[in-house]
Structure 1
Amino acid sequence: MSSRPSGNSVFSAAFVRTADGWNGAEIDLESVEIADDLGDAVQEHLGLNGDELALLCVEVEDEWFAIVRYQGDEEPRAFLSDAQAGLTDGLGELFTELAGVVPDKENSELGIRPAGDFELLSDLGVSPEELIELSMEEGVLPADTLSVIAERLAFADELDRLR
């Protein structure tokens, strides 16, 4: 199964927090088939080898974004800007699975509803309320929202470099 959505532009990058700040790498999700493949791709591209904190940021143009937090042997924690992303493509399915979300096929026109772990960035300075508010801001593209989050977490320069 190819997880890449058809017709939409996808950008994905992972960032690892180091003693000197954040380092990032673009992540190719073309061959990702299962949720575990996401973590493997992050580990491979960033060269993780321990308890580092890493964030995978994915934006699907004009549609939705996801953030997955990896830290050591802990289970990944995921936030998804729209719980219905799993209805649109295979990549969305992977992120709804990671976020523990079951899209509502009966009511696919529910509007944007963030889902997953709302606290995954709270210890880094973005509260659950802020994350939800940023995700639901009308007229703001997923790329813009991720830029605001990256600015708040101090990896905006790395994000801009990779875009």
Structure 2
Amino acid sequence: MPSSAIFSAAFVRTPEGWSGAEIDLSDAEIVDDLGDAVQETLRLSGDELALLCVEVEDEWFAIARYRGEEEPRVFLSDAQAGLSDTLGELFAEFAGVAPEKDNPALGVRPAGDFELLSDFGVTKEELIELSMEEGVLPADILSVIAERLAFADELDRLR
């Protein structure tokens, strides 16, 4: 299977707004490695809110949310991401789903925490609708979400 182009960046919310950095997840072997990479890249010191955004070409995207000692939360645009690559497997595990290996043509099935961004005004229904919209690329969906959360300029700068 050819490797897909992966873009991943982490964003931290500060009193001045959002700040972001591209993040390398190629060495991630377990779910905890994702949070460790966010922590190290953003140099988090405590209770800051951080979002990890990952997009894999035209296949899937994920958003993980970290804040201090709270349990990390994740939204995965397609439970079948685990079939595409190692990173997809990690995010499927993080979201608590197993890809349907016997039926890979099931179609898009979002998974994880659908309320992940509800305190920012992105409802569960909207997140699901964005994920399942026919013909819309993961990069475009993340751009819409970044616009709603006011870190679109940071996202564009990193891309």
Assess same fold via TM > 0.5: yes
- For the pair 1:43 / 2:39, whether they are aligned, the reply is yes
Structure 2 counterpart SS, 1:145: helix
Aligned equivalent of 1:22 = 18
Structure 1 counterpart SS, 2:38: helix
TM-score where L is the length of structure 1: 0.95
1:1-163 equivalences in 2 (<5 Å): 6-163=2-159
**Which ranges in structure 2 are unaligned for 5 or more consecutive residues?**
none
**Which ranges in structure 1 are unaligned for 5 or more consecutive residues?**
none
Q: What amino acid is the match of 1:24? A: G
Structure 2 counterpart SS, 1:14: strand
Structure 1 counterpart SS, 2:157: helix
CA shift for structure 1 position 156: 0.1
Structure 1 CA distance, aligned partners of 2:47 and 2:24? 23
Contact kept, 8 Å, 1:67 with 1:80, in 2: the verdict is: yes
| Alignment: residue pair count | 159
Identity %: 79
TM-score where L is the length of structure 2: 0.97
RMSD: 1.0
Structure 1 CA distance, aligned partners of 2:14 and 2:2? 35
Structure 1 counterpart SS, 2:146: helix
Structure 2 CA distance, aligned partners of 1:125 and 1:16? 18
